[in-house]
Amino acid sequence: MSRKFLLVILIFSMAFAYGQEAKTGWGFGGVPAVAYNSDTGFLYGIVFEAYNFGDGSNNPDYDYTLKPTWTRTTKGSGENKLFFDSKYLLPYDIRVTAFAGYFTEQALPFYGFNGYEADYRPGFEESDSTDAYITRMFYRHERNTLRLSADFQKSVISDNLRLIAGIGYVDTQVDTVDESGLNEGKDEDLLPLNAPTLYDNYVDQGYIRADEANGGLTNFIKLGVVYDTRDNEPNPMSGIWTEALITSYPGFLGSDFSFTTLTATHRQYFTLIENDLSFAYRLGYQQNLGDVPFFMLPWYQSSYVTTEGMGGSKSLRGILKNRVVGNTIFMANMEARWKFYRTVIGGQNLYLALNGFTDFGQVLEPYEVENKTLPMETEEGLHLSFGGGLRIVLNENFIIAVDYGMASDEQDGNSGLYIGLGYLY
């Protein structure tokens, strides 16, 4: 990772759990989040998962899971989120997936719109680049977000085909970076005060409209269809998981912007060596129709967890987070997964796995601002990255994930190290 990004100083400790080889009852696991960044301070927290397997009759499926995450930095950024999922809790075989989260981000990456069309100049944010340096926060802005959502899925015709309906409340507050707050407590002002950022420039020049510059409400309803034949959801060895979604943000729900998002995602899994080696790929397409505000461009809709990209840990690993945003985007991931070691420790089924991957994506239709011509330095093209990772898996469900990705073009950054839970797809 380059010096301007998060320096990880502790990766993880051993997860903890209890149970039997045929899993029943409760199982728990957690990963401490510990990191340091000179601008946002020391990060600390916990990523935790709890699974209830009931009497084990649905094994390796869990009856339901709770996944809370809590992190803080010494300069005020933080995540507070809770994820819930169950296929067996509600009657009539209705699956429920719910999410609640509040995020305070003092320095969210923002690189403009439409991928390569927005030129990335690392010197603007590198303090040792005396000729070009502006501020380490040049490609950043502040964002605070409250997200509440619930999705419900019901099988129709067959167990593998499901209809999905969901509803959500999203309150996003956006502002320029608070340099004074980030400088507080330091012997000298490490960040120049009132230095212009790309976000400030876009607001001043009208590329970000006044009515969206400080965020707003984007409440939504979601409808779609899901086809799922995976043999094991956390890490399938075979099957298909594909979906088509329509997410609408209507004014009657209180949304400040009326627009619709169309999302299609196809994932497929192949066994190459029984129980040990598999190949998985994901294809994703998303198009926005209507008055989409700039701060909603990075979000990618899903029947399971809504993620942010393209670029970063959930989409194009090794490429700068949110580097590739536009009105219509396409992404693809290809990954080989090898389970090279299995054992049982303290009644816990454990395996270790390696994965090698390549990720790529592109803006297919640019984001445009009415009566404004966005600055364009280069024609948009394919954004490509590649890398590998390690997985530590307990009881087929709790997955500690470490990935390292490298960008193929310096316009997309250098590399990224990502530590979290689960496979990407």
243: exposed, middle or buried (Cβ count in 10 Å: 0-12, 13-18, 19+): buried
pTM above 0.85, yes or no: yes
At residue 187 the predicted structure's pLDDT band, cuts being 50, 70 and 90, is low
Residue 197 lies in a domain: yes
Give residue for tokens 């029947």.
303
pLDDT by residue (tens digit) across 92-129? 899 999 999 999 999 999 999 999 999 999 999 988 87
Q: Classify 291 as helix, strand or coil.
A: coil
Neighbours of 29 (CB within 10 A): 24
pLDDT by residue (tens digit) across 122-171? 999 988 877 789 998 999 999 999 999 999 999 999 999 999 999 999 99
pLDDT at 385 over 50: yes
Residue 290 lies in a domain: yes
What pLDDT is recorded for position 12?
Answer: 41
Residue 117 lies in a domain: yes
Dist CA 51 CA 67 (whole Å): 9
Residue 359 lies in a domain: yes
* Total structural domains within the chain: 1
Q: What percent of the chain has pLDDT above 70?
A: 91
What pLDDT is recorded for position 255?
Answer: 97
Which domain range does residue 110 map to?
7-421
Residue 212 lies in a domain: yes
What pLDDT is recorded for position 10?
Answer: 37
CATH of the domain at 307: 2.40.160.50
pLDDT by residue (tens digit) across 214-269? 999 999 999 999 999 999 998 999 999 999 999 999 999 999 999 999 999 999 99
Residue 303 lies in a domain: yes
Angle at the Cα of 304 from the Cα atoms of 303 and 309, rounded to 5 degrees: 90
Residue 2 lies in a domain: no
At residue 37 the predicted structure's pLDDT band, cuts being 50, 70 and 90, is low
pLDDT by residue (tens digit) across 285-311? 999 999 999 999 999 999 998 999 899
Q: What are the C-alpha distances in Å from 190 to residues 8, 186, 187, 197?
A: 21, 8, 9, 15
Residue 127 lies in a domain: yes
